[in-house]
């Protein structure tokens, strides 16, 4: 973020909020590939700084997708990559996600950004201890919490850009 002021929440339509929430629902269900796929169209249509924020979430989903064994990988008949390869892909994604989330206020787009940053730091610390040999022991309790968007996800199409909730 280049500005000294923290960015304001983007004005999302009801449909965009539902898409955003659907991505978090997938994430909470450990369907990281699907969370990534859910957020990607939203990311593509947003201007900065929301675009960077969503890209950080996509990179975070990619990191957990790799860390936890590609659980929801399309074409599930294919075996997951070996742990060393998954770890070497996950760590840079954690770094990129952290960099994208830098400069956002503690609460942005209904998300506890401070908790996301804490989850990333905790994951990195645990991964440094576990290494690839013990990657399967990564504690699921370190997954970031899902934002409480349930009341927003049901909002109708009358939620227009610029409307504050």
- pLDDT in the model for residue 145: 80
Residue 117: phi and psi, rounded to 5, are -65, -40
Cis, peptide link before residue 49, omega less than 30° from 0: yes
Task: Report strand pairing: 107-108 vs 111-112.
Answer: antiparallel
Longest dimension (CA), the chain: 51
> How does DSSP assign 109-165, residue by residue?
TTEEHHHHHHHHHHHHHHHHHHTGGGGGG--GGGSPPPP--HHHHT--TT--TT---
Average pLDDT along the chain, 165 residues, taken 10 residues at a time: 72 91 92 94 95 97 90 68 93 97 92 92 95 93 77 43 37
Please give the DSSP secondary-structure letter assigned to residue 74.
Answer: S
Within 8 A by CB and 6+ apart from 91, the residues are 63, 124, 127
Query: Does pTM top 0.75 for this prediction?
Result: yes
- pLDDT in the model for residue 163: 39
């Amino acid at each position: 973020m280049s500005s000294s002021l923290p960015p304001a929440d983007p004005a999302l339509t009801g449909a965009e909020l539902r898409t955003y929430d659907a991505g978090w629902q997938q994430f909470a269900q450990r369907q990281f590939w699907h969370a990534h796929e859910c957020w990607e169209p939203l990311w593509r249509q947003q201007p900065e700084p929301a675009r960077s924020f969503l890209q950080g979430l996509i990179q975070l989903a990619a990191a957990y997708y790799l860390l936890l064994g590609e659980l929801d990988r399309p074409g599930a008949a294919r075996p997951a990559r070996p742990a060393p390869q998954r770890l070497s892909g996950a760590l840079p994604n954690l770094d990129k996600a952290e960099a994208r989330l830098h400069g956002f206020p503690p609460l942005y787009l209904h998300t506890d950004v401070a908790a996301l940053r804490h989850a990333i730091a905790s994951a990195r610390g645990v991964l440094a201890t576990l290494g690839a040999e013990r990657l399967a022991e990564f504690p699921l309790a370190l997954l970031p919490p899902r934002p409480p968007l349930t009341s927003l996800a049901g909002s109708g199409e009358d939620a227009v850009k610029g409307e504050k909730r």
